[in-house]
Amino acid sequence: MIKRNPDLFYSRPQCRLASSLLIGIAALLSGCSTTEKEPQPIVAVQVTPAKRSPIALTVSAEAVVSPLQQAVLTPKISSTISKFYVQRGSRVKQGQLLALLENADLAGAAEQSKGEFEQAEAGYATTTGASLPQQIQKAEFDAATAKFAFDAQQKVYDARKDLFNQGAIPRRDLDSAEVALAQARSQNEQAQKQRADLLRLGKEQALKSATGQLSAAKGKYLNARAQLSYSEIRSPIDGVVTDRPLFQGELATANQPILTVMNISKLIAKVHIPQSEAVLLKVGDPAELQLAGVEQPIKGRVMLVSPALDPSSTTIEVWIEALKPGPELKPGMNVEVAVVAKSVEKALVVPASAVYKTPEGDDYVLLAGPDNKAHLAKVKIGIRNKELAEIASGIKENDSVITAGGYALPDGTQIKIEAGPAAGGEKESVGQGDKPGGNPGQKPPNSVAPAKAKE
């Protein structure tokens, strides 16, 4: 008789329970393996075709309007203002008398020096035209007379010497003739020397003396006349009187302004531009001056680019000439200046917001491909302004560039193209099944239905 083991009997339900658990876990694992994959996310984007369009690089900055010519008139002497001939706003010509200072003492000094100068001129004329020629003539006459007397005495001496040798005359007659000859020789030598000295030195020194006196008198007269002219305030330029701080009868102090004249027919805007932008500018570049409260900008051009850097501000001063300044543009005003540094007529452009940078610093755009995916395309940027960016290389004309929704979008992301807002704020209708792209004049590309995720 076989006996049953009670432990074995009670263990059978446990075995059945364990088997059930194992079967359930296996079924659960088998069910997980057959579950469908989650679909990839689809990003809604907006696109625009790359197209040909003019583009310009502009440099903008705040500027101050100044006249091309300006003169702040300051007297060189201190004197009371005798009379003003102009008022503020008066138009004046170059050389016009604007104001007169008290100058009675200066006029008297000028008149006195003028008389001394005329006297010196007369003395010079007398010295060179009468006195000196007479002195030379007298010296030549004295020299000739002394030479004639010496020759005559020489003949007397020679004749008496012959007679003495013949015994016809006594010794004392020969001695007296010899003494007279010596005196005539001395007088002749002195006269010849005086004549030579007068011709060699006297004439030169006499001319120097007369010339020196004339020059001194002339210099004194010119100085007095200059002092007198300082009392007359004249305009050095054509223009308009813009300031007259003093009144008639007040004291004008030397080197203190009493009048300001500006030539407002030519106005310039002086602007300080960073050197990184100033290197792009050159004389003749077109520019615009925008005045607050005036809708239409004033045309201008670059007139001067400073050849040196301002060490205090590390900027470069640029002058913009207003070509046709209207009455609303005045010296001292602040204006917004925009200079066209570079321009391209038919550039391949995309919106500037559609250009991104890789972590390495390269520029790229995202293209909407026919496979309904975003594709990264590295590009080379030319001119870039606030609205547009020139694509020098990397994409072709009419390529669909993602303009909205592309920031930080990975390459190959599934996309759905949506229409951007049309004019008037309404959105255009979106069709299905058309590929992105098209000519620049066509409507924005229609959306492409995304591919279904695989089950």
Q: Is the pLDDT of residue 263 over 60?
A: yes
Which of 272, 274, 275, 297 is CA-nearest to residue 286? Answer: 297
353: nearest Cα among 399, 309, 405? 405
3-state secondary structure 102-144: CCHHHHHHHHHHHHHHHHHHHHHHHHHHHHHHHHHHHHHHHHH
In the beta sheet, which residues pair with residue 268? 66, 321
CA distances from residue 163 to 74, 95, 152, 408 in whole angstroms, order as listed: 95, 92, 17, 145
Band of the pLDDT at 156, cuts 50, 70, 90?
A: confident
Least confident of 217-221, 321-325, 449-453: 449-453
Q: Tokens 């701080």 identify what position?
A: 245
- Considering only residues 181 and 78, tell me which one the structure prediction assigns the higher pLDDT: 78
Rounded distance between C-alpha atoms, residue 303 and residue 63, angstroms:
14
Q: Which residue has the higher pLDDT, 331 or 451?
A: 331
Evaluate if residue 20 carries a pLDDT over 70.
Answer: no
8 A C-beta contact, residue 113 and residue 220: yes
Judge whether residue 434 has pLDDT over 50. Answer: no
Task: Return d(Cα 148, Cα 22) in angstroms, integer.
Answer: 170
What is the predicted pLDDT for the residue at 428? 35
Give the confidence band of 283 by pLDDT, cuts at 50, 70, 90. very high
Which residue, among 419, 310, 301, 369, has the nearest Cα to 44 in the 3D structure? 419
Average pLDDT of the residues in 344-360: 91
DSSP string across 138-166: HHHHHHHHHHHHHHHHHHHHHHHHHHHHH
Q: At 255, which amino acid appears?
A: N
Backbone φ, ψ for residue 273 (5° rounding): -120, 140
3-state SS, 311-373, equals: CCCCEEEEEEEECCCCCCCCCCCEEEEEEEEEEEEEEEEEEHHHCEECCCCCEEEEEECCCCE
Local confidence band at 288 (pLDDT 50, 70, 90 cut-offs): very high
Q: Tens of pLDDT along 37-67?
A: 556 778 888 999 999 999 988 888 999 999 9
Coil, helix or strand at residue 402:
strand
pLDDT band at 9 (very low <50, low <70, confident <90, very high): very low
Q: In the beta sheet, which residues pair with residue 61?
A: 337
Give 224's contacts (C-beta < 8 A, 6+ positions apart).
Answer: 106, 109, 110, 112, 113, 114
Contact between 277 and 59 under an 8 Å Cβ cutoff? The reply is yes
- Taking alpha carbons only, the member of 39, 169, 23 closest to residue 454 is 39
Residue 173 pLDDT greater than 90, yes or no: no
Least confident of 151-165, 266-280, 327-341, 427-441: 427-441
Query: Is 60 exceeded by the pLDDT of residue 315?
Result: yes
Nearest Cα to Cα of residue 450 among 28, 40, 76, 138: 40
